[in-house]
Amino acid sequence: MIAVKNIEKTYNVDGVETQALRGVSFEIQKGEFVAIMGPSGSGKSTLLHVMGFLDRPTAGSYVVLQKRMEELSDDQLAFFRNKEMGFVFQSFNLLSRSSVFENVELPLLYSDVPHGRRRHLVEEAVRAVGLEEKLWVEAGRLSGGQQQRVAIARALVNDPGIIFADEPTGNLDSQSGAQVMSILKTLNKNGKTVILVTHETYTSEFARRLIKLLDGKIEYDGPIMHQRNSSEEFFK
């Protein structure tokens, strides 16, 4: 489903070059739940941006669902990203004065989904995260955990095959974090490919595979040794 081959990324700021990724290679199969970990500056956020079509690599090849990144224009990347990828960010990125419905509907406004079908898709996505009673509440009036669940619903509304979650529990208390991770695990059980970027070991344990980065290179790529089986274990 995903093939990352010898990816390199170099940033040039005021004439100073910084190499964030140094020849990273791996594959991810459909339906995997993969956690990407590493200390600050290891390259994990840069890797997420490349994999999510948010940034282009300096060198190497990236293929997702048989689409080669280097062969697509920026407009084609944006269309493909909106259709096939969902994103959940640490800071939620919601419109605080807009309702839950309006926030979740946003990706559909940039898609070819008929207007008459949008309400059904929004309600279905909101129901999947257990917030149907909050459908017309302003996002800014919700708790942090509820806002992150709205963000997950927004990521789901186009029924993408891949969910990218960037530190999704970073701004949450342990109980809200457990709920968010439980939802992501359920989505994975239902067939979604989930790619989680985190610095928290207990969060990564919800995944089944770990890719660990250090100084822009893969230090470890293998199974999670202590996988979380339920949200209750999140508190231990």
CA distance 138 to 220: 43
Measured CA distances, 65 to 21, 35, 190, 197 (Å):
22, 20, 19, 21
Share of the chain above pLDDT 90, in %: 77
CA distance 195 to 185: 11
CA distance 89 to 140: 16
* Span 2-26, pLDDT tens digits: 999 999 999 988 889 999 999 999 9
* Span 25-40, pLDDT tens digits: 999 999 999 999 999 8
User: What's domain 2-235's architecture?
Assistant: 3-Layer(aba) Sandwich (3.40)
Average pLDDT over residues 114-129: 92
Token pair in block for residue 229: 């089986």
* Span 208-225, pLDDT tens digits: 999 999 999 999 999 987
Cβ neighbourhood burial of 222 (10 Å; 0-12, 13-18, 19+): exposed
CB 171 within 8 A of CB 90: yes
pLDDT at 15: 84
pLDDT at 62: 95
- pTM of structure: 0.90
CB 93 within 8 A of CB 151: yes
Share of the chain above pLDDT 70, in %: 95
Average pLDDT over residues 112-120: 87
Residue type, 99: S
